[in-house]
Structure 1
Amino acid sequence: MTRQFWVLIHRWAGLSMAAFLIIVAVTGSLLAFYPELERLINPQLYPKQVLENKLDIATLAELAQLRVPYGQVNAVLMEANEESTVISMNARPDSSGQLSELGFDQLLVDPYTGEELGKRQFGAISEGMINFMPFIYKMHYNLALGNFGMWILGTCALIWTLDCFIGFYLTLPQRRKPPSPLTSLPVGAENKNIWLRWQPAWKIRWKSSRYKLNFDLHRASGLWLWLVLFIFAWSSVYMNLWDTVYTWTTRTVFDYKAPWTEFPKLNKVLEEPKVGWRQAQMIGEQLMAEQEKAHDFTVERVVALILDRERGIYHYVARSSRDIQDRRGGTRVFFDADTGEFKLVLLPSGQYNGNTVTSWLYALHMANIFGLSYRIFVCALGLVIAMLSVTGIIIWMRKQQARAGKRSS
C-alpha cells in the first residue's frame, strides 16, 4: 500500500470523526473539573455542614424507599460528587409488570442527616441548571442520544485508535532512493540521516505562513502528545464498547475479568431480591473483610452499594489500598441478591493484570489521578484535541481549494 493510500485513510478518518471529537474534547475539558463545577452551579445539592459521621448505606436506602414508596432503589453512591450522596432509583412496576414514569432517576441526599437535597432526571437539560454538568457528561459519553450515541462514539473511538498509528506513520520521513552501490556511507550515517529528516515534523514554524503554521500545529502536536492521545482513544473504546471490542481485545492479551463477562443476565429482571438493603450491607461488610485478609489489602471506607437487577447481583464497593484513583474507589465484592452467596472480588490493581491496566486507563481518562496538575493537563488536552480536529479540517479545505483551482485553470 502506498503512502498516498494512508494519507487518504487518515484524511477521511479525521473528517468522519472531527465533529464528534470536537464535542467530546470540549465537554471533556469541563468534566476534568466536574465536582468543582457541580458544586459551583448547584450548591443546594451539597450538605450545609460536614458532621462527624455519615449515615450507613442501608439507612439511606431505607429512607429513600420511605420517601418514594412508588419507586425502588438501585444504588446508593456515597461519594458520587464529593460530599453529595446520590441514590439511583426507578419506578416500581405495577401489578401488571408495567413501569410508570417516576419523573426522576436520582435522589440527592445529605449523607449526614438523610435530608433530601434534590431530585433530577440525570442529564435532562430541560430541567435547567440542576442538570448542566450531567448534560455535559451525557454529551461526552453518548452525545445525549442514549445507546445510539454510545455506539457512534464507540465507533469513533475505535477509528481514532487505529488512526493514531496511521497519523504517526505519516509523520515519518519518506524513503529516499537507495544510494548507488559505488557510494559508501559511514556506519550509522543512514539512521542519523533519517532522524535529521524527521526533526521538522516535531517543530512548529511560528513565524511562517498561516497554512504552514496550521499544518505544523496539526502534525507536531499530534507527535508530542501521541502516547496520551492513544491512551485517551483506547480508553474511549473501553468507555463505549466495554462489553464487546474492549473486552475481546483485552482478554486476548491479559487476564481480565469483568461483571458483564462473569455474570449472565437473568431471564427476568429481579424486582424484589430476597436480600434487602440492610442484610446486603452486612453481607458486603463481612465479605469485604474476608477478602481484605485473603488478598492483603486495607479498606479505607465504603463507597457504594449497587443492586444489578438484570444479573441478580449486589456490588459492595469500597476504597482500599489497592485503588489508584484520587477520589472514590473501585475495590468490589459481588454476591447473589437472593442468597447472599459470594461470587467474585475484583481489585483495581495487583490481582488480574488486565484489570490493573483497565484501572489505569479509566483513572487517566477521568483525570482522577496525579492530583490537580494532571486535571489541568487533561482540561488543556481537550482543547488540543479540538484544535487537532479543526486544523485537520482546514488542511483538507485548503487542499480542496487548490485542487479546484487546478481544475478551473
Structure 2
Amino acid sequence: MQRARWGLRLWHRGFGIGAGLWLLLLALTGTAIAFYDELDRALVPELRTIPGEFTALPRVDLALATAQVRHPGFVPRHIDLPNRPRDSIMIIGSENGQAAQLFSDPRDGAMLGLRSSGSFAFDRRHLMDTLYALHMDLLLGPTMAWVLGLVALLWAIDHVPAAILAIPRLARWWRALRVKPRGRRALYDRHRAPGLWLMPVTLMLAVSGLCLSWQEETRAVVSLVSPVSERLHYDFPDAPVPSRPIGVDRALARVRGAGVWRVDSVQILPAKAVYAVRAFDERDLDGIGRRWIYVAMADGRILAERHDNGSSAGDAFFAWQYPLHSGKALGLAGRALICIAGLVTASLCLTGIALLLLRTSR
C-alpha cells in the first residue's frame, strides 16, 4: 500500500511540475471568458452596443455592403445577430489574411468599427479576445491546441491519484474537507480541501476541455460505442458562388417564412454556395442557437436542417461539452460556478507549487 501511494504521489507531483503553469493559465483565462460578452460590452461599448433600443429586423446586407466599401479586403465568414435590443451586429472574418471582427449598427448597417482578432494585445479593445485566444491555443495555433488537449487528458487522469492522496483513510473522509487556519498543515489543507470540494466540476472541465481540443480523436473513440454525426454541410458537394446570390436578408426571410423567427447567427459557406442559419430552438442546451438550417445562395431553397443534439447518445454527449465547459448549460449560476472553479484551480496550482518548494527547501 505504501509503495502504491508513493507511486501516486510521484505521478501527482510530476503532473504539477509538468503542467501546473499551463493549467494556471487556462484556469485564469477561463475564469475571465466565462463572462466574455458582458465584459467585452463593458470594455468596448462603442463596438458592442448602439444608442437606444432596436427590435426590428437587422439590416445585414446593408451592413455587409458598407463593410465592403470601408474595408475592401474584409471577407465575412460568420455573422452574429443581435440578441438584445441594444446589441450591434458582429461580423467575424478576415482582412488581408488577418482574423478580424467588424461591428455594425443593425438599424442602418453603419459601421461601428473593426478590430483585429487573435493578436497579443491587452488594451481594452482587444483584452477579451486575447484572453479567449490564450485559452484556446495560447495564440500558437493548432499544435498548441493539441498540447493543451494533452494537458486536459493528464488533468482528468490526475483526479484519481489526487482524490486517493487527499483521503488517506476513507472512514475519516470528512477531515479532508476541512481547512485549518493555522499551523504546519494549513498550506496543505488549502491545497487539498478546495480541490475535493469542486472535484466533480474540475473533472468535468478536464473531460470537456479534452473533447473540445481533441475533437477528431474523441469523436473516433466515442463512435466505437455510439454513432456520432457531423454537421450536414460537411457532406455537401462543392459548388461555385452564384453570380447573383440572394443575400443574407433574403435567406433569413426564407427561414422565417418556414416558421423560424429567432435567429442567432449566420455562417457564410462560399465553398458550398450555402448560408448556414443557426436558429434558437427549445432543444438548445445553452444560449446559442443550435438548430442549423441550410439555405441555398442561388434561389433560397432550404436544403436541409439539423439540431446539434443529433439523434444518438454520441451526438448528445458532444452536444453537452461546450455548454458544460462554459457553464452556459446552467445559465448565470453555471457560469458563476465555472468562475469559482477556475479560481480554485488557479489556487491549487499555486499552493501545489508552494508545497513543492517548501518540501525541497527542507
Distance 1:280 1:118 in 2: 21
Aligned partners of 1:256 and 1:355 also within 8 Å: yes
2:234 corresponds to 1:254: no
Superposed displacement of residue 303, structure 1: 1.2
Distance 1:169 1:339 in 2: 62
1:188 alignment counterpart: none
Which of 203, 207, 210 aligns to 1:237? It is: 210
329-338 or 219-228, which moves further after superposition? Answer: 329-338
Offset from partner CA, 1:47-80 (integer Å, 9 cap, x none)? 1222231325444334433443443322211148
AA paired with 1:399? R
Gaps of 5+ in 1: 92-100, 174-193, 293-298, 403-409
Aligned partners of 1:106 and 1:120 also within 8 Å: yes
AA paired with 1:374? G
Distance 1:265 1:130 in 2: 37
2:161 corresponds to 1:201: no
2:14 corresponds to 1:19: no
Superposed displacement of residue 313, structure 1: 5.3
TM-score by length of 1: 0.76
1:216 alignment counterpart: 189
The share of aligned pairs that are identical, in percent, is 25
1:355 alignment counterpart: 315
**RMSD of aligned alpha carbons:** 3.3
Aligned positions, number: 358
Aligned partners of 1:58 and 1:278 also within 8 Å: no
Any residues of structure 2 matched to 1:145-184 within 5 Å, and which? 145-173=140-168
Please tell me whether Structure 1 or Structure 2 has the larger radius of gyration of its CA atoms.
Answer: 1
Is the partner of 1:129 in helix, strand or coil?
A: coil
Which of 48, 52, 74 aligns to 1:49? It is: 52
Superposed displacement of residue 206, structure 1: 2.6
Which of 234, 254, 274 aligns to 1:263? It is: 234
Is the partner of 1:375 in helix, strand or coil?
A: helix
1:86 alignment counterpart: 90
1:383 alignment counterpart: 343
Distance 2:6 2:245 in 1: 61
Offset from partner CA, 1:200-226 (integer Å, 9 cap, x none)? 2232223332xx122222222222211
Aligned partners of 1:59 and 1:278 also within 8 Å: no
Superposed displacement of residue 336, structure 1: 6.5
2:135 alignment counterpart: 140
Distance 2:342 2:348 in 1: 10
TM-score by length of 2: 0.85
Is the partner of 1:168 in helix, strand or coil?
A: helix
Aligned partners of 1:157 and 1:233 also within 8 Å: yes
Distance 1:31 1:236 in 2: 14
2:275 corresponds to 1:302: no
Gaps of 5+ in 2: none
Superposed displacement of residue 102, structure 1: 6.0
AA paired with 2:356? W
Aligned partners of 1:322 and 1:348 also within 8 Å: no
Aligned partners of 2:63 and 2:110 also within 8 Å: no
Superposed displacement of residue 250, structure 1: 2.8
Aligned partners of 2:293 and 2:305 also within 8 Å: yes
308-317 or 8-17, which moves further after superposition? Answer: 308-317
Aligned partners of 1:157 and 1:234 also within 8 Å: yes
